[in-house]
């Protein structure tokens, strides 16, 4: 019997690389078969282990297919859709009437399609009238966005196609472990090195990515800013900056230079742990190459100085004259599947669709005219993600969660979890129960990725199409339908009466016309013809913008801005009481909070639990061996991990992944200290100590 043709082109539901996949019905018809799409120019047919197993959750026995409400004993009971929706709408309306519109909170996700992200933001502001909407992308991309907006006047993760990596003579990856977080991207680094290029990696851990580098800079956690300033000092000292580029295309170099000249290599070596010889080698490679780029990841950004740290790397690449040049520049590696589109279209507390700002009157007027409402009726800026969670059960009485598992993903969980539990109303829209729904009053079952249409925007700013491949089970509804059903009950159903995802996209296009993230020239048909369309795309005959900044930046004067940034201490530094750095990251088998991947047997069995990486020297001091159970304590909580002794980590640093919740949640240890600009929590650095060690064979 012949195999069925894999004919439907769509995209993986996981990371922002958004690999192209081909899907077709299995011979049994119960689950689609998956193959990498060899014609999609981002992954070229490659997939990671998550992509290959991405159909495993379709038809999963733990799928929730009917709405659920808590009974009088706190147990879930099935409910009809009308009963569940009536209950939710009545509670939201009651809270608004008693406590004001801002007492209702909304929490979205970087996993939502552009259409869902757009409509969720509209729902919060039009149906609920609340300012308090934010999303888990505030935990992921906010600092990079803040720095790029400040420097370039616009934020697009990669302002060039990922294929440009192959042509760069030198690439410096800072705080990014792409081999585990974006595995198919490694093909571009492999091609780059095969072409004679050099790869430099800066990270506190010798990760799988770092092991493939030509130069590894093992930095002290929290010192990326000092590292970048130190490299720029050397570039100035050795006269390898591009003076003409600085004069022609930038502002503010003198002020940045004055600060950078305080970062002598000897000082930077003390701060970062990177030797002067390595510093000089790295910056010479970047400066003298015909093409070079710096790419940052969460290791640089998830700090209380994340925006300034990213801007320090932008300063370096501007001074070297690389930004906007062929196969060169600065970019940041978006994490979540629609992390780019998710932050463009209104899920952030301070933004409206198209990167318009909610506090700018002209921006409010533009969006209000599309929505058919009075601009004065739109709320002003609300609370950022962590600040929103921190006032739950106080100022904010309800939380409507769509596509996010905040009970694992939020920092300082020991503080946040009791607030979730004390809410008057917690509603979770998802396909499976997770740690957040353990505290919910209502669970609304929705479609999974392969059961819906929509668009996403990958890490390059390429808008792509997600297509319906699998037939959903009877019971769940689309997120778009849920928002309409609730809006109808709240008296504004006419503002949400869309026939399809494409119909929503048509309104999104109008709402972004003339905005920084302009999608007005994009259509489903154009995406189909072009293998995706890079925004900005301002008209039907505009093919899109694969490469930005080639002639001008997005500030009114067309120039990029240097910004003088100083290294400063983290929100908390190691001390006599808590002498170690603790940092977090990912396993290649799991994704974010693990809500999806821990339900896939192949992935769960590959990494059953989080392991604590500890250096042999530190392990000897505490009598730790691989398999020991080590209790790590911060000022907020204690978590027990199984130890893995490895020389790949610094002797002053502990590492654990954050994919688990409950008593294994790494984010119990992290703090709620925020970057003052982006409001990004400091996930990547907490001061801890080893509180106890016991034999792994014990209970």
> pLDDT (tens digit, 9 = 90+) per residue, 356-379?
999 999 999 999 999 999 999 999
| Cβ within 8 Å of residue 398, ≥6 positions away | 91, 92, 95, 103, 104, 105, 423, 424, 425, 426, 427
- Per-residue pLDDT, averaged over 189-208, amounts to 97
The pLDDT score that the predictor gives to residue 596 is: 87
| Cβ within 8 Å of residue 157, ≥6 positions away | 16, 141, 144, 331, 332, 333, 334, 339, 340, 459, 460, 461
Q: Check pLDDT > 80 for residue 65.
A: yes
Encode pLDDT of 254-302 as tens digits: 999 999 999 999 999 999 999 999 999 999 999 999 999 999 999 999 9
The values of phi and psi at residue 401, to 5°, are -110, 125
- Per-residue pLDDT, averaged over 582-594, amounts to 90
Q: Are strands 462-466 and 533-534 parallel, antiparallel or unpaired?
A: antiparallel
The pLDDT score that the predictor gives to residue 430 is: 97
The values of phi and psi at residue 621, to 5°, are -65, -35
Query: For residues 384-411, b (16+ Cβ closer than 10 Å) or e, as one string?
Result: bbbbbbbbbbeebbbbbbbbbbbbbbbb
- Model confidence at 697, in pLDDT bands (50, 70, 90)? low
The pLDDT score that the predictor gives to residue 33 is: 85
- Model confidence at 27, in pLDDT bands (50, 70, 90)? very low
Q: Check pLDDT > 60 for residue 416.
A: yes
**Alpha-carbon distance 634 to 657, whole Å?**
16
Q: Helices in 351-429 by DSSP H: which ranges?
A: 361-371, 385-390, 406-409, 413-421
- Number of Cβ within 10 Å of residue 555's Cβ equals 16
The pLDDT score that the predictor gives to residue 252 is: 98
78-139+338-534 has which CATH code? 3.40.50.740
**Exposed, middle or buried, 132 (CB in 10 Å: 0-12/13-18/19+)?**
buried
Kindly list the domain boundaries of the chain, sorted by start residue.
Answer: 78-139+338-534, 147-332, 580-694
78-139+338-534 matches 580-694 in fold: no
- Number of Cβ within 10 Å of residue 426's Cβ equals 26
Encode pLDDT of 328-338 as tens digits: 999 999 888 89
Encode pLDDT of 261-271 as tens digits: 999 999 999 99
The pLDDT score that the predictor gives to residue 494 is: 97
The verdict on whether omega for the bond into residue 536 sits within 30 degrees of 0, i.e. cis, is yes
Worst-scoring range by mean pLDDT, 49-63, 147-161, 544-558, 560-574? 49-63
**Domain 580-694 grouped into CATH 2.40.40.20:** yes
What fold is seen in the domain 147-332? Dimethylsulfoxide Reductase; domain 2 (3.40.228)
**Alpha-carbon distance 412 to 385, whole Å?**
13
- Model confidence at 2, in pLDDT bands (50, 70, 90)? very low
pLDDT mean across residues, the chain: 95
Taking CA atoms, 474 is separated from 64, 433, 451, in Å, by 10, 18, 12
The pLDDT score that the predictor gives to residue 30 is: 61
The pLDDT score that the predictor gives to residue 597 is: 86
């Amino acid at each position: 019997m012949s195999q069925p043709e894999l004919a439907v082109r769509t995209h993986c539901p996981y990371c922002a690389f958004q690999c192209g996949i081909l899907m077709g019905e299995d011979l049994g018809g119960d689950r689609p078969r998956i193959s990498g799409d060899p014609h999609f120019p981002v992954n070229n047919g490659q997939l990671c282990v998550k992509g290959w197993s991405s159909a495993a959750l379709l038809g999963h026995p733990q799928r929730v297919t009917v709405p659920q409400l808590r009974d009088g004993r706190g147990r879930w009971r099935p409910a009809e859709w009308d009963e569940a929706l009536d209950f939710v709408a009545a509670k939201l309306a009651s809270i608004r009437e008693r406590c004001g519109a801002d007492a209702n909170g909304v929490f979205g996700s970087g996993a939502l399609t552009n259409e869902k992200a757009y409509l969720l933001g509209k729902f919060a502001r039009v149906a609920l009238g609340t300012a308090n909407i934010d999303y888990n992308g505030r935990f992921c991309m906010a600092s990079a966005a803040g720095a790029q907006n400040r420097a370039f006047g616009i934020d697009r993760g990669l302002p060039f196609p990922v294929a440009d990596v192959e042509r760069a003579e030198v690439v410096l990856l800072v705080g990014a472990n792409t081999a585990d977080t974006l595995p198919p991207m490694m093909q571009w680094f492999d091609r780059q090195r095969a072409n004679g290029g050099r790869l430099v990696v800066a990270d506190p851990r010798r990760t799988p990515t770092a092991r493939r580098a030509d130069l590894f800079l093992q930095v002290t956690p929290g010192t990326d800013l000092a590292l970048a300033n130190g490299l720029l000092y050397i570039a100035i000292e050795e006269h390898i900056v591009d003076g003409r580029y600085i004069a022609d295309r930038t502002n503010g170099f003198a002020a940045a230079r004055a600060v950078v000249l305080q970062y002598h290599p000897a000082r930077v070596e003390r701060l970062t742990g990177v030797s002067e010889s390595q510093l000089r080698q790295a910056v010479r490679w970047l400066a003298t190459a015909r093409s070079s780029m710096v790419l940052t990841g969460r290791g640089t950004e998830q700090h209380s100085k994340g925006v300034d740290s990213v801007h320090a790397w932008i300063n370096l690449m501007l001074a070297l004259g690389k930004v906007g040049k062929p196969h060169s520049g600065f970019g940041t590696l978006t994490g979540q599947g629609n992390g780019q589109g998710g932050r463009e279209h209104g899920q952030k507390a301070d933004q409206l669709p198209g990167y318009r700002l909610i506090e700018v009157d002209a921006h409010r007027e533009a969006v209000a005219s599309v929505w058919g409402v009075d601009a004065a009726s739109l709320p002003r800026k609300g609370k950022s993600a962590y600040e929103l969670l921190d006032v739950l059960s106080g100022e904010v009485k309800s939380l409507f969660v769509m596509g996010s598992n905040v009970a694992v993903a939020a920092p300082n969980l020991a503080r946040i979890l009791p607030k979730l539990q004390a809410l008057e109303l917690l509603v979770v829209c998802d396909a499976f129960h997770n740690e957040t729904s353990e505290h919910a009053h209502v669970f609304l079952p929705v479609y999974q990725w392969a059961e819906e249409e929509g668009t996403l925007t990958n890490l390059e700013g390429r808008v792509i199409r997600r297509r319906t491949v699998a037939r959903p089970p009877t019971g769940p509804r689309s997120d778009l339908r849920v928002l309409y059903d609730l809006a109808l009950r709240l008296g504004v159903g006419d503002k949400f009466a869309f026939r399809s995802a494409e119909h929503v996209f048509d309104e999104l296009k109008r709402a972004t016309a003339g905005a920084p993230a302009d999608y007005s020239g994009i259509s489903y048909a154009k995406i189909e013809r072009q293998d995706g369309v890079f925004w900005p795309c301002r008209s039907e005959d505009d093919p899109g913008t694969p490469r930005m900044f080639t002639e001008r930046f997005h500030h009114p004067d067309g120039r990029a801005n240097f910004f003088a940034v100083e290294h400063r201490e983290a929100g908390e530094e190691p001390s006599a009481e808590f002498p170690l750095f603790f940092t977090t990251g990912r396993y290649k088998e799991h994704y974010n909070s693990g809500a999806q991947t821990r339900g896939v047997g192949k992935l769960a069995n590959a990494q059953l639990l989080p392991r604590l990486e500890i250096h042999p020297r530190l392990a000897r001091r505490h009598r730790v061996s691989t398999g020991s159970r080590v209790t790590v304590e911060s000022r907020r909580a204690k978590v027990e991990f199984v130890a893995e002794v490895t020389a790949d980590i610094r002797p002053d640093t502990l590492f654990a992944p954050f994919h688990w919740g409950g008593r294994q949640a790494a984010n119990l240890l992290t703090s709620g200290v925020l970057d003052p600009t982006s409001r990004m929590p400091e996930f990547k650095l907490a001061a801890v100590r080893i509180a106890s060690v016991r034999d792994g064979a014990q209970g």
